[in-house]
Amino acid sequence: MPESRDPIQQNGLKQKGETVELKPAADAKLPVAVVQEKSADLSTSTSASPSASELATGDVADVTPLKPALPAGMRRRRFAIASTALLATSVFLVSVADLKPLISQDGTIDRNFKFTAEIKPPEPPPDFSYSNHLSEGLIAIANSERQPARYGFADAKGQIVIPSIYEDVKDFSEGLAAVKLPSDAGKWGFIDHTGKMVIPAIYTTADSFHNGYAVAFDYRRQLIDKNGNVFRIGGNNVRHDIPGGFRIIEKPASALYGVAKGNEVSIPCRYDDITQIATVEDSSAPPFFKLRTNGMCGLADGNGKIYFLDRFDDIVSVHNGFALVKKDTAYGFCDLNGKFVIMPQFAQCTAYDDLIAVRSGDKIRFINSANMPVEGAKVDNVVFNSDTAQWFHDGLGLIRRDGLYGYLDKQGHEVIAARFKNARPFSEGVARVLEGSRWIFIDKHGNKATEAEYTQASQFHNGTSEVTVPGPLYGVMKETPYFNSSINYFGRPAEKFDGFEGEVVERER
């Protein structure tokens, strides 16, 4: 006989776990039992055994009581437990099987939108995790079981080749990696691929090598070579490199700055501060520098030509041969001799171009390069690069109206209607726009440049864009917090775009 699984008190039945057997009288005829089928719906069953009157007439032989209806609260609890178990099983399956490609894949696309998946390193050893990116065949690795964590390096096969003994490390570059010793002093030095300390750990911080030199600090910022020697030009310390072979230099113990071109001083160390001015000019041209003395700014180029000194409160950028400058609290434009071509009168404005967006008070309007008003499309905001003030990219400027994004040409015409939830400036003939929940690329006519869709995409640079492609499970898994936290998008260099309202629209490349 089967076991009863729940206590039933009526009809003299015994407690849970005991077999119940009722026998008829010796002279009774064999009964026709009226027994509820075991497969009955428990939620509607009201009796798991016959009544006392039925027993008295000897109409029942063997009876196995069925479970009564569960209370609603208990059913809900059991359902919650089952759901949790199902989720835990899913998490376990993902942990033991590489399902990441079914969720999303990181990689790059070329201008033909051909996708190349990012090469992933093998799984790290137990209790370790990768902390940086593969560089020169080595990747920084952290012993996550130690507190605080200690860092070393593994090869492309995931094998540890430099023990995890450092408090911090940076990627290998030009054969050396900056590492921080785990001591009270916490000094930085440089190791080679074998783990040998080739530049002693004497610096409070250090950067990676670039073009044979690295920035390192002891009590001052300085440039060192691969032998640890301090690099100086004309007796001046080198603060940092600038693309094109230029360097900001500092006169020792004076806090005065200048510029070097190659290993020769082009602008003497006479200024309180020198910074490179963002420019939209041809990268082959020498960079412009802002020279600050007595709180006012002048302009020079990397070849040492001084255009003017102590003229403006700020110089924002140079574009098309004209500088965007600030005088008191207003912005305007001057030529390279410092002569105004558009007097300072605007609260904000974009870089000098055929069409310039300006703001006075709360009103945005358009002018041309001769400061004549231009009738253009109605906009709530324009989106421009906050470093260069450049608005137009590939001949089109990004605008926003009623919370949607579109593009204007240099005549102020809305050539791509404001219909996108989000958008980015054009680059190399295409732009990224948000359609639904996915990023797509469009051409200058507003048409799709490809049918492919991405969950993340960077602007094209030198023919390549970094993207994340959704897999077949992405739409399901992205709704689960566990999977949301495990889908990691690789980092991209910063690129900031601001609107006239001060809104940061983008901080990724």
Q: For 195-245, how does the pLDDT look when each residue is reduced to its tens digit (9 = 90+)?
A: 999 999 999 999 999 888 898 988 778 889 999 998 889 888 888 888 788
Digit-coded pLDDT (tens) for 77-117: 777 677 666 666 665 555 544 566 667 788 999 999 999 98
The answer to whether 415 and 408 are in contact (CB under 8 A) is: yes
Q: Domain end: 68, 91, 114, which one?
A: 68
Sign of CA dihedral 227, 243, 506, 134: negative
Asked if the structure places residue 371 within a domain, the reply is no
Asked if the structure places residue 82 within a domain, the reply is yes
The per-residue pLDDT for 67 is 55
Question: Which class for 23: exposed (0-12), middle (13-18), buried (19 or more C-beta within 10 A)?
Answer: exposed
The three-state secondary structure class of 119 is: coil
Domain ranges, residue 31? 1-68
Asked if the structure places residue 11 within a domain, the reply is yes
Asked if the structure places residue 32 within a domain, the reply is yes
Digit-coded pLDDT (tens) for 150-203: 899 998 888 899 999 999 999 999 999 999 998 767 899 999 999 999 999 999
The DSSP secondary-structure symbol of 33 reads -
The per-residue pLDDT for 54 is 40
* Amino acid of residue 500: F
d(C-alpha 238, C-alpha 252), whole Å: 10
Considering the domain architecture, whether residues 58 and 1 belong to the same structural domain is answered as yes
Asked if the structure places residue 30 within a domain, the reply is yes
Considering the domain architecture, whether residues 26 and 80 belong to the same structural domain is answered as no
Asked if the structure places residue 222 within a domain, the reply is no
The answer to whether 150 and 167 are in contact (CB under 8 A) is: yes
The per-residue pLDDT for 362 is 81
The DSSP bridge partners found for residue 154 are 139, 160
- Show the tokens assigned to 440: 């797509």
Q: Domain end: 54, 87, 103, which one?
A: 103
For the chain, what percent of residues have pLDDT higher than 70? 73
Strands 392-393 and 396-401: antiparallel
Which pLDDT band, with edges at 50, 70 and 90, does 281 fall under?
A: low
pTM listed for this prediction: 0.68
d(C-alpha 318, C-alpha 156), whole Å: 45
Compute the mean pLDDT over every residue in the chain, rounded to the nearest whole number.
78
d(C-alpha 147, C-alpha 128), whole Å: 12
Asked if the structure places residue 197 within a domain, the reply is no
Digit-coded pLDDT (tens) for 447-493: 999 999 999 999 999 999 999 998 776 665 554 433 333 332 223 33
The DSSP bridge partners found for residue 322 are 319, 335
Asked if the structure places residue 27 within a domain, the reply is yes
Q: Domain end: 88, 103, 118, which one?
A: 103
Question: Which class for 15: exposed (0-12), middle (13-18), buried (19 or more C-beta within 10 A)?
Answer: exposed
Which pLDDT band, with edges at 50, 70 and 90, does 24 fall under?
A: very low
User: Is residue 44 predicted with pLDDT exceeding 70?
Assistant: no
Considering the domain architecture, whether residues 15 and 36 belong to the same structural domain is answered as yes
d(C-alpha 47, C-alpha 66), whole Å: 8
Considering the domain architecture, whether residues 6 and 52 belong to the same structural domain is answered as yes
State the total domains in the chain. Answer: 2
Digit-coded pLDDT (tens) for 299-345: 999 999 999 999 999 999 999 889 999 999 999 999 999 999 999 99
